[in-house]
């Protein structure tokens, strides 16, 4: 079977044969299709990139119809069960799981870069106590860029990796300090004897220093949530990181841009919306009326549906199980009963079945975060911390891809044709 596409241009009667590779045609192959020699050539129009692959990537595989998610070939369920977040971050960045020696060296370099410049504390003081922690995260990432001027040398592998390590190591510190600042609590410095998530929990919640003990169940739960959120191929924030990085800006500002994209309620803010919705429903007996209102177009069932998954989001399955472990420690989140009943009813309702609407990653994660003591504003920050490893892997892959250049989409101009300037007195 020839891997080609034959296109006939009915404007000219000419036919063209275009190669198909990986189920894709190259948009630039369309440029040979012209009405005459002066014609620019045919372009494809794809607002919101609904059907355009912007890169080749060997990092994350996602099959939304089958509900499959794999990092570097490893099923997400196996990684969530057997791996750790730092091991997964290494896998995403390097393509292979580390051996014992590599993992020890990796953990050591992350652990020894957790401290941030004291000046950052002063920058933090510039914010009001009620500033959204996500806005602060965006600003702190950009601020770090001003500390590390060599980060612009993105073509030098050693320097690039040094900053990758710094960012992964410092994300929990800056997130925890933003949290402490909003509560008016003193900052807790990193404790390099603790693991990645244990250290994060201590920096967040430690009050009387010698007494604070990281609960191993909560530490593991957070680690699993970090694994599940580490990458999700070419989503809005990852595309922002790649786009900004394609100008060879440093990784701090590329990640500030990615975090800014994640900040939006259509992207990283849905778990917060789920909690607000569950609270608004209030009790199990109100669910049928709520479902009816959704079916009549009065709002959405938040935490359901996904642009890519038309099946149960595999991450949601893992999180649902995880919730039981967390609630054993923290006590049951009373909103869980509403969530479980809502899911049961929605999954048996024709409206949701027909539209292939299933729970997504955000349906249960907020309940866990809330039970662990996080305010809702921190939820997108908890998403950004592990996603940093995905953003950095994708950014680095983009820089090493010889086919990539500065990202620069085309447009279809719909404005006025040329006209002469009219002096203000004559308008
Ligand atoms: N509740 C009720 N109906 C829904 C929902 C929902 N959550 N999601 C989609 N639908 C309906 C739409 O109204 C539409 O119905 P119609 O065909 O009768 O018009 C149909 O299902 C198809 O929906 P689209 O809007 O075309 O789906 P799209 O892929 O554009 O949207 C999205 C995906 C944005 C995630 C959507 O499902 C949604 O808003 N869900 C709720 C918010 C949410 O949970 N977001 C988190 C996503 S996961 C993440 O970003 C990490």
Average pLDDT of the residues in 56-74? 96
- What distance in Å separates the CA atoms of residue 57 and residue 46, rounded to the nearest whole number? 20
CB atoms within 10 A of CB 400: 11
Strand order of the β-sheet with 60-63 is: 60-63, 68-71, 74-75
pLDDT of residue 155: 98
Q: Is the CB of 306 under 6 A from ligand 1?
A: yes
pLDDT of residue 209: 64
Kindly state whether residues 250 and 115 are assigned to the same domain. yes
pLDDT of residue 350: 95
In this structure, the residue with its CA closest to atom 3 of ligand 1 is 300
In this structure, the residue with its CA closest to atom 44 of ligand 1 is 303
Q: Is the CB of 357 under 6 A from ligand 1?
A: yes
Q: Is the CB of 346 under 6 A from ligand 1?
A: no
- Give the three-class secondary structure for 62: strand
The reply to whether 358 falls in a domain is yes
pLDDT of residue 264: 86
Give the chain's domain count: 3
pLDDT of residue 308: 85
Beta carbons of 70 and 61 less than 8 angstroms apart? yes
- Report residue 251: phi and psi, to 5°: -65, -25
Q: In the chain, pLDDT over 70 holds for what percent of residues?
A: 99
> How confident is the prediction for the chain on average, in pLDDT?
94
- What distance in Å separates the CA atoms of residue 168 and residue 190, rounded to the nearest whole number? 14
- What distance in Å separates the CA atoms of residue 213 and residue 198, rounded to the nearest whole number? 9
- Residue 269: pLDDT band (50, 70, 90) is confident
Which has the closest alpha carbon to 60: 197, 226, 224, 228?
Answer: 228
pLDDT of residue 174: 95
pLDDT of residue 217: 95
Q: What is the CATH number of the domain that holds 286?
A: 1.10.230.10
Which residues does the annotation mark as catalytic? Answer: 267, 306, 362
Kindly state whether residues 358 and 384 are assigned to the same domain. no
- Distances from the Cα of 407 to the Cα of 1, 169, 240, 267, 398, angstroms: 34, 28, 10, 22, 10
In this structure, the residue with its CA closest to atom 14 of ligand 1 is 355
The reply to whether 59 falls in a domain is no
Q: Is the CB of 302 under 6 A from ligand 1?
A: yes
The reply to whether 70 falls in a domain is no
Kindly state whether residues 246 and 387 are assigned to the same domain. yes
Please, what's the b/e burial string for 302-325 (b: 16 or more CB within 10 A of its CB; e: otherwise)?
bbbbbebbbeebbbbbbbbebbee
pLDDT of residue 296: 94
> In Å, how far from its chain's centre is CA 337?
28
The answer to whether residue 361 scores a pLDDT higher than 90 is no
Kindly state whether residues 306 and 356 are assigned to the same domain. yes
pLDDT of residue 11: 97
In this structure, the residue with its CA closest to atom 31 of ligand 1 is 307
Beta carbons of 190 and 196 less than 8 angstroms apart? no
Q: What is the pLDDT of residues 93-112, one digit of tens each?
A: 999 999 999 999 999 999 99
DSSP state, residue 21: B
Average pLDDT of the residues in 372-401? 96
pLDDT of residue 200: 97
Residue 33 Cα to ligand 1 midpoint, Å, equals 37
Q: In the chain, pLDDT over 90 holds for what percent of residues?
A: 81
The reply to whether 92 falls in a domain is no
- What distance in Å separates the CA atoms of residue 329 and residue 323, rounded to the nearest whole number? 10
**Residue that has been written with the tokens 């309620």 in this structure:** 265
Q: What is the pLDDT of residues 278-334, one digit of tens each?
A: 999 999 999 999 999 999 999 899 989 888 888 888 998 899 889 989 999 999 888
Q: Is the CB of 303 under 6 A from ligand 1?
A: yes
Average pLDDT of the residues in 371-385? 93
User: What is the residue range of 31's domain?
Assistant: 1-45
Q: Token pair of 123, please?
A: 């920058």
- Residue 386: pLDDT band (50, 70, 90) is very high
Q: Token pair of 25, please?
A: 């045609």
393 versus 363: which is more confidently predicted?
393
Kindly state whether residues 25 and 131 are assigned to the same domain. no
Kindly state whether residues 194 and 254 are assigned to the same domain. yes
- Residue 401: pLDDT band (50, 70, 90) is very high
pLDDT of residue 210: 67
pLDDT of residue 182: 87
Kindly state whether residues 282 and 242 are assigned to the same domain. no
């Amino acid at each position: 079977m020839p891997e080609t596409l034959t296109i006939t241009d009915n404007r000219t009667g000419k036919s063209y044969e275009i190669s198909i590779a990986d189920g894709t045609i190259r948009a630039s192959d369309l440029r040979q299709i012209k009405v005459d020699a002066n014609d620019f050539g045919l372009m494809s129009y794809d607002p919101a990139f609904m059907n355009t692959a912007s890169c080749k990537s060997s990092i994350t595989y996602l099959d939304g119809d089958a509900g499959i998610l794999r990092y570097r070939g490893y099923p997400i369920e196996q990684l969530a069960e057997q791996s750790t977040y730092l091991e997964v971050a290494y896998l995403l960045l390097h393509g292979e799981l580390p051996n014992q020696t590599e993992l020890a060296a990796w953990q050591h370099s992350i652990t020894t870069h957790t401290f941030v410049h004291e000046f950052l504390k002063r920058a933090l003081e510039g914010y009001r106590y009620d500033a959204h922690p996500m806005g602060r995260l965006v600003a702190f990432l950009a601020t770090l860029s001003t500390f590390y001027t060599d980060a612009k040398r993105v073509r030098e592998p050693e320097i690039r990796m040094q900053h990758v390590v710094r960012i992964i190591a410092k994300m929990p510190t800056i997130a925890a300090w933003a949290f402490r600042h909003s509560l008016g609590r003193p900052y807790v410095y990193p404790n390099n004897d603790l693991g990645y998530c244990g250290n994060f929990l201590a920096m967040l919640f430690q009050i009387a220093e010698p007494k604070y003990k990281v609960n191993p169940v909560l530490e593991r739960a957070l680690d699993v949530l970090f694994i599940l959120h580490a990458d999700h191929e070419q989503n809005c924030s990852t595309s922002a990181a790649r786009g900004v990085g394609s100008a060879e800006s440093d990784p701090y500002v590329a990640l500030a841009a990615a975090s800014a994209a994640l900040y939006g309620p259509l992207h990283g803010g849905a778990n917060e919306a789920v909690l607000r919705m569950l609270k608004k429903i209030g009790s199990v007996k109100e669910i049928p009326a709520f479902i009816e209102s959704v079916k009549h177009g009065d709002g959405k069932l938040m935490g359901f549906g996904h642009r890519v998954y038309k099946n149960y989001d595999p991450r949601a399955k893992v999180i649902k199980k995880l919730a039981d472990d967390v609630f054993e420690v923290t006590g049951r989140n009373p909103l869980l009963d509403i969530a479980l009943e809502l899911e049961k009813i929605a999954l048996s309702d024709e409206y949701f079945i027909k539209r292939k609407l299933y729970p997504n990653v955000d349906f249960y994660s907020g309940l866990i975060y809330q039970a662990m003591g996080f305010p809702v504003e921190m939820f997108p920050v908890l998403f950004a911390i592990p996603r940093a490893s995905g953003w950095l892997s994708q950014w680095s892959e983009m820089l090493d891809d010889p086919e990539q250049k500065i990202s620069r989409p085309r447009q279809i101009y719909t404005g006025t044709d040329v006209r002469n300037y009219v002096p203000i007195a004559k308008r």
